[in-house]
Amino acid sequence: MSSLAASVPRLRPLERARQIALLLSERAAQAERERTLPEASVAAIARAGLFRMTLPRELGGDEPDFAELIETWEEIARADGSAGWTVMANGTAAAAAAAYLSDQAIAAIFGEDPAATVGGQFAPRGTGVRTNGRWRITGSYSFGSGTAHSGFVSAGFIPIENGAPRAMANGLPEMHVAFFPRERVEFRDNWHVMGLAGTGSYDYAVNDAELVEGFSFPLFTREPRRGSPLFRLGMMPVTASGHAAWALGVARRALDELRGMASERQRMGDASALAGKPTFQRDLARAEAKLRAARGYVFDAFGALGRVALRGDPPTLPQRAEVRLATNLATEVNVSVCDFAHACAGTVAVRDASALRRCFLDAHTGSQHAFISEKVWTDCGQVLLGTVEDVLGL
């Protein structure tokens, strides 16, 4: 694998993200029109080594800690929300494959191509039936972000034996994640949405697809075969870091855009430009403070959990809940900041070419994801109250 490692740029991931940020921003409108990242954006991300960023060093990755991971994904999301969401989605899926799949699967999925990545859904919306010693998977999935340029696609499933779901020790059904080459996957060209339009999050299905041994792993495993100590935490914290980073990046872009126009933007009937209005000055300061506070909480919570991983300790339930709280807070602040910026910009923000329009629509679309749902708040509240012993989804 030395040739792979040598092909990755020597700069750290954040610096590489900054190098392509302008290109991604300039192609944001094209991504919306095409409903997936354009070829130029995908090529730039691949050249920057950002599809492989989350992979182990032995596979040409960077094995970043949480801080570097969040900063890099945040920078891409600041450039373009759809690009940020896609790179985050591809990155978490690729990280899981690299950490938990067999050597045979790793060779098939990643090979020597710096653009090789995976996408798709881990939620167990399919079933697996054992036939002649192999699982055959059938399921329908939504929101396959980044699958348009993914050579392999993930599909969560529940193993069925003797007509019933196979159970874990806690009585819940086992949940696994399978990976199939894209030619075994049926896509629906149905990604017509208000926000995150450039993510190519198509619906897809697998029908009686035979799963090759070693191309799946238990969804909640914390036993990586290779890679960063972070994967001893399981995939939930890594996934949460991506959602938090994305929310912070989109909100930062919204405030940057608003400040950039504040000295010149004067709404009809106002005596001065936005920058001269005390109420705007007050609300801008509040929005900035909220965003910085949320960002600080994100880095504090994930930093603490990262140190747990480095020590080799299993994460406690309160530690797992802490990063999910931080992620949900970042998401709420993102929506609040983008609403504020959109309202202040007035009609400027309703035009197709406006970055503020994209931030507003992306924020409201991204906030609907199940991973940052109302249930996460209530689960974390129960943890804070000490009324639950464990919550599998945290």
CB crowding 331-352: b at 16 or more within 10 Å, else e: bbbbbbbbbbbbebbbebbeee
Q: What share of the chain is helix, strand, coil (3-state, %, to 5)?
A: 55, 15, 30
Paired tokens of 13:
């991931």
pLDDT of residue 292 exceeding 60, the answer is yes
Number of other residues whose CB lies within 10 A of the CB of residue 285: 10
Distance CA 251, CA 335 (A): 8
Which is it for the CA torsion 174, 227, 92, 314, positive or negative? positive
Tell me the per-residue pLDDT of 209-242, one tens digit each, with 9 for 90 and over. Answer: 999 999 999 999 999 999 889 999 999 999 999 9
Which is it for the CA torsion 21, 23, 26, 31, positive or negative? negative
Q: Which domains does the chain have, with CATH numbers?
A: 2-110 (1.10.540.10), 118-218 (2.40.110.10), 229-385 (1.20.140.10)
pLDDT of residue 91 exceeding 50, the answer is yes
105 vs 272 pLDDT, higher one: 105
Question: What is the rounded end-to-end Cα distance, in angstroms, of the chain?
Answer: 34
Tell me the per-residue pLDDT of 303-335, one tens digit each, with 9 for 90 and over. Answer: 999 999 999 999 999 999 999 999 999 999 999
Paired tokens of 226:
């290779």
Tell me the per-residue pLDDT of 149-185, one tens digit each, with 9 for 90 and over. Answer: 999 999 999 999 888 899 888 888 999 999 999 999 9
Distance CA 71, CA 89 (A): 15
pTM: 0.94
- Please report the pLDDT score of residue 200 as a whole number: 96
Residue 8 confidence class, pLDDT cut points 50, 70, 90: very low
Paired tokens of 111:
């090979």
Tell me the per-residue pLDDT of 377-393, one tens digit each, with 9 for 90 and over. Answer: 999 999 999 999 999 88
Distance CA 127, CA 129 (A): 7
Paired tokens of 109:
């999925």
Residues in the chain: 394
Of 286, 284, 292, 283, which is closest to residue 248 (Cα–Cα)? 292
Of 337, 334, 345, which is closest to residue 261 (Cα–Cα)? 345
Number of other residues whose CB lies within 10 A of the CB of residue 46: 17
